[in-house]
């Protein structure tokens, strides 16, 4: 399990490459002078690869190959090439993210006016790129005086050259989106200021910004993409704005210095590996609207000693709290689903605040307890006793006295459904549940009795 989880980041980072290869497999491919192209449905060509790896040369991308125009440059087309410069013809209309990934010797690049769409940062890992230039009056793109590439059409920051020596940076006022991979690998940046207009941070936007210590997320923010801050090893704290509903997979993956994070009250989901490897995180408060904590969400948070988990959480994924501190305690609402999880994985827990009774993991997985609740039927309100086994699964339900057999059946069913929805979540058994209404009847018998009572009214 640990080896699998540790490899997830690599899989996510190469996903677009594999999907691109799958698309190429069934397409018509053309090769000429070291260039590999895919013929698209409209007859145009997408440049998908370049075989010559000579260092220090200038690569001139041809306007046409085999009689067809080259209109797009695909992801990883020039991956790892060592050219010093590249010329893009005016037939090209689109450049995909990672197109020039790890072209570590490239120093300058000019983008023609015909390029109207760039899908994320094409220049990831271009550690010597110092000059991105545009033709005058470019219709959709803009390079600011500090050399940062923006989309005017989408008000999106597309690329902050990772070779820039600056330690601080302020995103241009009016920007709405930080694009995919926009600050990828910008290892020198320590502080970034976002304007109050930002609504979205794209996938891997700040991935590998290993010196980033300070970034304030504005209240305008609606979404944060997968792996957005992965590998930001100096980031010490984060306050997630109130309109963000999900912490996406790997958002804070291996943020080793992250000591605190404030989650918004409207949050509903903490996805897989969201805080994987956050070794300095010592306490987490899960808001009351969260229902899901994903696989390995807090895996490897070796300093995590306190996790406050509300009754709203009905799903906790595999290895969610594996490799956390041996002193980890969960602070829970009584009869919360997280209690079942804690018992299952021998995690100590408390009810409520730190002064409440400490429940240690059971030495033997045995025993039971009874909860009493009230349910209302046709003729009144009656007590219902639910007997739980040590891991929180239902053993039986006993309904109080009633004047009506139909009422008894109704009450038993209502109590069972109430328990399933509020306490045990989806892990509680449904099939084979015995319910005691004076005499023992099966769950199917109760459903039949309720249906019969309804049909007689």
Contact of 399 with 408, CB cutoff 8 Å: yes
Give Cα 55 to chain centroid, integer Å: 38
pLDDT for residue 193: 97
pTM: 0.73
Predicted pLDDT at 298: 97
336's CB contacts (< 8 A; 6+ apart) are 309, 310, 311, 313, 423
Write b or e for each residue in 393-432: b if 16 or more Cβ atoms lie within 10 A of its Cβ, otherwise e. Answer: ebeebbbbebeeebbbbbbbbbbbeebbeebbbebbeeee
Domains of the chain, start order: 24-129 (3.80.10.10), 368-456 (no CATH)
Closest CA to 338 of 371, 316, 306: 316
End-to-end CA distance of the chain: 56
pLDDT digits (tens, 9 = 90+) for 272-321: 999 999 999 999 999 999 999 999 999 999 999 999 999 899 999 999 99
Task: Answer whether 336's CB lies under 8 Å from 313's CB.
Answer: yes
Residue 117 and residue 106: Cα distance in Å, rounded?
A: 22
Determine the Cα–Cα distance for residues 133 and 442; give it in Å rounded to an integer: 75
Distance between CA atoms of residues 127 and 108, nearest Å: 11
Regions of the chain with pLDDT less than 50: 1-24, 354-365, 378, 418-457
* Residues in CB range of 207: below 8 A, 6 or more apart: 181, 183, 184, 185, 227, 228, 229, 230, 231
How, if at all, do strands 246-247 and 64-65 pair? unpaired
Helix (H) or strand (E) holding 38: strand 35-39
**What is the spatial order of strands in the sheet that 381-389 belongs to?**
368-376, 381-389, 394-399, 434-437, 439-442
Read off the pLDDT of residues 397-432 as tens digits, 9 standing for 90 and up: 666 655 555 555 555 555 555 444 443 332 333 333
Residues ≥6 apart with Cβ < 8 Å to 150: 141, 142, 143, 144, 156, 157, 158, 172, 175
Q: How many Cα atoms within 13 Å fall on the side-chain side of residue 422? A: 12
Q: Are 266 and 288 in contact (CB under 8 A)?
A: no
CA angle 291, 296, 301 (to 5 degrees): 105
Task: Tell me the chain's radius of gyration from C-alpha atoms.
Answer: 29
pLDDT at 53: 75
Question: For residue 451, which phi and psi values (nearest 5 degrees)?
Answer: -60, -40
CA torsion through residues 43, 47, 51, 52, sign = positive
- Residues 210 and 237: their CA atoms lie apart, in Å, by 14
CB burial of 154-184 (b: ≥16 within 10 Å; e: otherwise) equals eebbbbbbbbbeeeebebeeebebbbbbbbb
């Amino acid at each position: 399990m640990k080896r699998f989880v540790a490899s997830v980041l690599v899989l996510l980072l190469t996903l677009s490459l594999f999907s691109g290869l799958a698309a190429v497999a069934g397409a018509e491919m053309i090769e000429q002078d070291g260039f590999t192209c895919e013929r698209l449905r409209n007859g145009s060509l997408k440049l998908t690869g370049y075989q010559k790896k000579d260092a220090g040369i200038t690569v001139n991308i041809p306007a046409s190959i085999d009689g067809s125009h080259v209109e797009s440059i695909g992801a990883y087309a020039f991956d790892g090439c060592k050219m010093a410069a590249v010329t893009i013809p005016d037939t090209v209309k689109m450049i995909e993210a990672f197109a020039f990934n790890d072209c570590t010797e490239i120093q300058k690049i000019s983008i023609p006016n015909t390029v109207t769409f760039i899908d994320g940062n094409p220049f990831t890992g271009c550690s010597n790129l110092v000059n991105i230039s545009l033709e005058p009056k470019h219709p959709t793109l803009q390079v600011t005086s500090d050399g940062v590439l923006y989309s005017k059409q989408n008000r999106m920051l597309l690329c902050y050259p990772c070779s820039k020596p600056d330690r601080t940076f302020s995103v241009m006022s009016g920007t709405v989106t930080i694009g995919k991979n926009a600050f990828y690998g910008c290892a020198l940046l320590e502080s970034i200021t976002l304007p109050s207009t930002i609504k979205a941070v794209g996938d891997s936007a700040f991935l590998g910004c290993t010196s980033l210590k300070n970034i304030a997320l504005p209240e305008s923010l609606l979404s944060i993409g997968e792996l957005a801050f992965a590998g930001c090893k100096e980031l010490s704290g984060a306050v997630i704005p109130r309109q963000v509903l999900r912490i996406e997979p790997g958002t804070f993956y291996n943020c080793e210095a992250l000591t605190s994070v404030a989650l918004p009250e409207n949050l509903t989901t903490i996805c897989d590996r969201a805080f994987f490897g956050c070794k300095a995180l010592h306490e987490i408060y899960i808001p009351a609207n969260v229902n899901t904590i994903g696989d390995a969400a807090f895996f490897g948070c070796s300093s995590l000693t306190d996790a406050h988990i509300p009754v709203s959480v009905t799903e906790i994924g595999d290895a969610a709290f594996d490799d956390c501190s041996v002193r980890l305690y969960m602070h829970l609402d009584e009869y919360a689903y997280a209690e079942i999880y804690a018992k299952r994985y021998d995690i100590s827990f408390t009810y409520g605040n730190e002064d409440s009774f400490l429940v240690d993991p059971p030495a033997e997985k045995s025993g039971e307890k009874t909860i009493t609740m009230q349910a209302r039927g046709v003729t009144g309100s009656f007590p219902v006793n639910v007997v739980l086994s040590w891991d929180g699964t239902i053993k039986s339900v006993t309904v109080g006295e009633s004047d009506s057999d139909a009422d008894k059946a109704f009450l038993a069913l209502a109590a069972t459904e109430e328990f399933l929805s509020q306490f045990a979540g989806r892990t509680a058994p449904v099939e084979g549940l015995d319910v005691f209404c004076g005499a023992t009847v099966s769950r199917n018998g109760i459903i039949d009795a309720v249906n019969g009572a309804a049909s007689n009214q």
